Structure 1
């Protein structure tokens, strides 16, 4: 199915139904363009205050054809700026997350700002987030807030619709933690172009990646990973300062 056909299908049914069927859902204009612009400025101001770090995977260089690329990021953004603390508890976001999971309770796993610089923003090979922090019930989802437009030339997210139904897949550790590129080529995945203010929701089992930003403008996003609080980690492999914070509802396991 082409992206145009998928978009038509997304408009015909609820985001929750589309998410269950395809493993992702793009929610248009969840925040306004003006809000997105303000958050973009907040992201870049925050990164300017921090010591630069580049989390580009070694395997990403091969996708980029061997050319030098870079990525800027920040974990746990809400600990550095109150603007992000407000955003992750905004009911416009948490109500959608709850509907997609089928649970009234939404718990934070972690947040991360990603900026792909203009003309050389690093790609991500195809992978499942589940490989990085597996859970027992697989309710974990991601919300990617777009703070500027993300057309294909800016290295937008690419997905394999329905791949979440295959469950956890074996990943290659060398050069990152990703799926074998020969079996999961980035260019064959469906590009999910987005506008500033759109939020892309993904199951952590959905196979996805993203291309190189070859445009003349940075691509700026905030990643929020969330879960049902009753979905416990299968392995203690991913620490974050904010993990366990309730974004909506309650933690039924608290105190047990």
Structure 2
């Protein structure tokens, strides 16, 4: 399901999100903006020179050859451009609409770069077990800073899977699902500037980047501030609890 971001119909986006568990907003960023953020992303990773590889153990079983992944938590604390994007109404208005709320609060962010030829996949999973909340008003937005066709390992989704609620995951430090099979998920190819929104109950994953170019994305996890977390997780994420839209009616600090 896709909508165009030139004054997107928020009610249509919300309806698609409610029915399918996701909506792809085309062109939320311009091509020039996406190119700028792509360059900033790669510059940050080169500048910080992080050597850790967040590839899941379960992902290594999806390929014969070893794969790699680069990432950075909390890019907004290294570059103000990312802070601006967090509160950009083009993003926050869609996030609020699909959750059916007025207020949007930050949970955490992750920058990902899948290197060319062997960029790591992600097995199918829900985000729920990593940071469960009481009313499940938690979502994600994946900003695409360059094109993400199937050969680059684009996101794959099981449409409507959110309606089944939380699922049991294989707890090997990666919380991946044993069912359904990865091949059953529907690819969601995207272009630079597109943003994929989905609920944290939607089953999703991504494939291997076998192309000759990197795939660069920024993941923003957000929530309704009135939805209390069931356990304290990701509290090390810088800026957790920051209001991206509206106010926090609970008055509590980040948890």
Q: Same fold judged by TM-score > 0.5?
A: yes
SS across alignment from 2:109: strand
1:143 is displaced (CA, Å) by 0.2
SS across alignment from 2:112: strand
1:175 is displaced (CA, Å) by 5.3
- Between 234-243 and 88-97, report the one with greater CA deviation: 234-243
Q: Return the TM-score normalized by structure 2.
A: 0.93
Residues 1:242 and 2:203 are matched in the alignment = no
Whole-angstrom CA distance in 1 between matches of 2:252 and 2:205 = 38
1:67 is displaced (CA, Å) by 1.0
Superposed CA RMSD in Å reads 1.6
Counterpart residue number, 2:133: 135
Whole-angstrom CA distance in 2 between matches of 1:113 and 1:71 = 10
Q: Return the TM-score normalized by structure 1.
A: 0.93
Partners of 2:108 and 2:234 within 8 A in 1: no
Structure 1: unaligned runs, 5 residues or longer: 1-5
Whole-angstrom CA distance in 1 between matches of 2:58 and 2:249 = 40
SS across alignment from 1:59: helix
Counterpart residue number, 2:66: 68
Q: Moved runs in structure 1, 4+ residues, more than 4 A?
A: none
Map 1:74-93 onto structure 2 (within 5 A): 74-93=72-91
Select 1:172's aligned residue among 170, 195, 218: 170
Counterpart residue number, 2:224: 228
Whole-angstrom CA distance in 2 between matches of 1:53 and 1:80 = 18
Select 1:123's aligned residue among 113, 121, 125: 121
Structure 2: unaligned runs, 5 residues or longer: none
1:71 is displaced (CA, Å) by 0.3
Whole-angstrom CA distance in 2 between matches of 1:175 and 1:210 = 18
Whole-angstrom CA distance in 2 between matches of 1:86 and 1:158 = 28
Whole-angstrom CA distance in 2 between matches of 1:168 and 1:36 = 33
Whole-angstrom CA distance in 1 between matches of 2:2 and 2:84 = 30
1:52 is displaced (CA, Å) by 2.2
